[in-house]
Structure 1
């Protein structure tokens, strides 16, 4: 291994160790704030058609954003299509007022309801943020 590769590897290792070890541990008296926002088999109504409801079996790529006094949580949500039992993907979102602690029931954009078959979102965050911003208007 060349000296340059070794130096780069050591610097990368130090950076990873600093990032992983910098988390603050909650004290016994404090509330850690850990909550499960998206539950398996929880029903979400479609954001554009309230009569369409979908439950999800798994979630991927969660993200949080602060928008105009609201905390918005979005996630890539997976479910089985009821007609052909194929795995499909959707985008689910919940929000809460930043001063409160209760999450909304949540909405989802279920692409399958619009005859669009998507198996996986390669980069879900930009698409989710656009959809959430449109919903909040």
Structure 2
């Protein structure tokens, strides 16, 4: 087979594979990955005080971790402070037992509920803490504090 024929056959095969896809029939299990985990205007309770609830208008920078059969999702959660209409960024998290397929209601860390001068927690990265059930999150943050 000449080089030109081989190249043409390879390009034709690549084109057919791209157009036709894998040919596998979708199953219900394959559709489970298309769920929206964080919804606009969804309310989250504060992780330290469940009576404090915050609704978020947008989410950014998702991070997933799998720890001992549990999937943990963390995300930047954007909201407007109701007292001074200032734009703030928090961290929200949800978890799901791998076999269950249902996400928890979730919690959030909202620092403006407290006397802390942090306006933004940015780019959460979830880290599994060894073989235990603990996870940690690395975040960047800044605020209006001069100290």
- Per the normalisation by structure 2, the TM-score is 0.62
CA distance in 1, matches of 2:95, 2:56: 18
Q: 1:113 and 1:29, CA in 2 relative to 1: closer, same or farther beyond 3 A?
A: closer
1:8/1:85 Cα in 2 relative to 1: closer, same or farther (>3 Å)? farther
Relative to 1, partners in 2 of residues 1:73 and 1:6: Cα closer, same or farther, differing over 3 Å? farther
CA gap of 1:27–1:101, structure 2 versus 1, over 3 A, is: closer
SS in 2 for 1:5: helix
Alignment correspondent of 2:9: 9
- Higher strand proportion (structure 1 or 2): 2
- The answer (yes or no) to whether the contact 2:75–2:91 under 8 Å persists in 1 is yes
Task: Give, in angstroms, the shift of residue 48 of structure 1.
Answer: 0.6
What is the alpha-carbon root mean square deviation over aligned residues?
Answer: 6.6
For residues 110 and 87 of structure 1, the distance between their equivalents in structure 2, rounded to whole angstroms, comes to 12
Moved beyond 6 Å, runs of 4+: 1-25
**Aligned pairs, number:** 124
Question: 1:56: Cα distance to partner?
Answer: 0.2
* CA separation of 1:22 and 1:30: change in aligned 2, threshold 3 A: closer
Rg larger for: 2
The offset of 1:15, in angstroms, is: 20
1:23-67 CA-to-partner distances (Å, cap 9, x unmatched) read 999689943621100001000000110000000011110011001
2:91 touches 2:121 (CA, 8 Å); kept in 1? no
* Matched residue SS, 1:29: helix
Cα deviation 1:6-31 (Å, max 9, x = unaligned)? 99999999999999999999689943
How far is the alpha carbon of 1:87 from its aligned partner? 0.3
Which structure is higher in helix share?
Answer: 1
Q: Structure 1: 5+ residue runs without aligned partners?
A: 125-137
Q: TM-score, normalised to structure 1's length?
A: 0.66
Q: Is the 8 A contact 1:43 1:54 kept in 2?
A: yes
Distance 1:23 1:36, change over 3 A: farther
* TM-aligned CA deviation for residue 122 of structure 1: 4.4
1:85/1:103 Cα in 2 relative to 1: closer, same or farther (>3 Å)?
same
